[in-house]
Amino acid sequence: MIDVLYFAWVRERIGFPKERVETTAATVADLVAELKAREPRYEAAFADLTALRVAVDQTLSTFDAPLAGVREVAFFPPMTGG
Amino acid sequence: MIDVLYFAWVRERIGFPKERVETTAATVADLVAELKAREPRYEAAFADLTALRVAVDQTLSTFDAPLAGVREVAFFPPMTGG
Amino acid sequence: MSVRVQSALFDIGAETAAFAKGRAGVGAIVTFTGIVRDRASGGLSRMEIEHYPGMTERAIAGIETEAIARWHLIDSLVIHRYGALGVGDPIMMVATAAPHRGDAFAAAEFLMDYLKSRAPFWKKEVAADGAEWVAAKDADEDALRRW
Amino acid sequence: MSVRVQSALFDIGAETAAFAKGRAGVGAIVTFTGIVRDRASGGLSRMEIEHYPGMTERAIAGIETEAIARWHLIDSLVIHRYGALGVGDPIMMVATAAPHRGDAFAAAEFLMDYLKSRAPFWKKEVAADGAEWVAAKDADEDALRRW
């Protein structure tokens, strides 16, 4: 079980900020593929991965990162702090 | 007649901050030569011109600047503001 | 070194005064304050800032730790707000204290460049004619490369 | 744009707050404050700052005018003290307000670099073991060349 979080327009497209996902995905990219297969809104949110960033256990990461032992994955657009 | 001003250690070596000088010097360098010929304390203050800066009528200038029409010349070490 | 992530308004003057208060060895203090600016076309009702609780504090603490490792700093402060902000309100503030001005300036700019692109905040501009997520600028990503 | 040359102490927090107060179009405010720092060896009794009344105000106004010509600024402020200052006292302050952070930072650093070497102030460190004029640093002259 992994907590999956969505922020900004990713959250708006998915429709909620957080869900628990039962998955055997080996990498973040595999998880994305699983989610996209579920419903059109995931397809819409993950249509262009170059427009997205991912954090694995609250650290910026990449789509090829492994998920073994991971508790939390977050998807969001490039950050606009400051 | 030109007002001649001294600041920081130049003032300390000369012994006062300001004097009026009757001069026909054509340039700042000529004025310095006249002053150095007066007394040892001027000699001490103007010993190393590379360690000095000059302002002519309150604008940073150079030792070859002409004095025609000038009302105020100031001598001081490199500035240390900020 | 301190980090504050808050929805509450903060007072730039009071924060600056508190940060500057009597620390031995400090010769230079730099502050940066980011303020909600209206759109070029005007009409901004508010700015909404979303963040990632937990990761935000970690990311900012990591950025400050890196700044302290790279420059000779005596202290640093980052305050960043989230929630709904009005035009003219302060969004965030960075302050650095160092013996010399070069370190204080460089560390403050470094912190800003990292906060822009590496701290998990997202800004949305809300106006009567609609709402829009602020897009990340290539220039902000480029700014990181100089460090 | 304003210039204040004064012997009186100023309050960093109050000056920052007043400078930051509600100006349309401002997205970024940078402040720099220089503070009297003790010598590495300790024992500084006070710092004495001499200046050239008349030229000082002209030189600083000239530096600010150049900053405004080079960067997109909405306002700037320079305060510089003279006279006898104690350890920990503020010496001077620069503030810049701009739509964007790059302009605010660059203009503040430019103003500082120019004030260091082009505004007619001279610092003397006074201690129990003697008094010494602060020597200009080559690094300060070098800093000017980047602009």
CATH architecture of A2-76: Roll (3.10)
Q: What confidence tens digit (pLDDT) does each residue in C55-92 have? A: 999 999 999 999 999 999 999 999 999 999 999 999 99
CB–CB contact A55 C133 (8 Å): no
Q: What is the distance in angstroms between the Cα of A50 and the nearest Cα belonging to chain C?
A: 13
* Residue-number span of the structural domain to which D130 is assigned: 2-145
Which CATH number covers residue C116? 3.90.1170.40
Which residues of D fall within a CB distance of 8 Å from C79?
none
Query: Does any CB of chain B come closer than 8 Å to the CB of residue D133?
Result: yes
Interface residue C52 vs chain D (CB under 8 A): no
Backbone angles phi, psi at B81, to 5 degrees: -80, -170
C3-32 burial, b if ≥16 CB within 10 A, otherwise e?
bbbeeeebebbebbbebbeeeeebbbbbbb
Quick one: average pLDDT of A56-82? Answer: 97
Tell me, yes or no, if C134 comes closer than 8 A to chain D by beta carbon: no
Domain count, chain C: 1
Q: Is C55 on the interface with A (CB under 8 A)?
A: yes
To the nearest whole Å, the CA of C85 is away from the closest chain A CA by 13
Instruction: Report pLDDT for C1.
Output: 86
Q: So what's the ipTM on this one?
A: 0.94
Residues from chain D contacting residue C21 (CB–CB below 8 Å): none
Query: In chain C, pLDDT over 90 holds for what percent of residues?
Result: 89
Cβ of residue C81 closer than 8 Å to a chain A Cβ: no
State the average pLDDT over residues D21-30.
92
Segment D47-63 shows an average pLDDT of 97
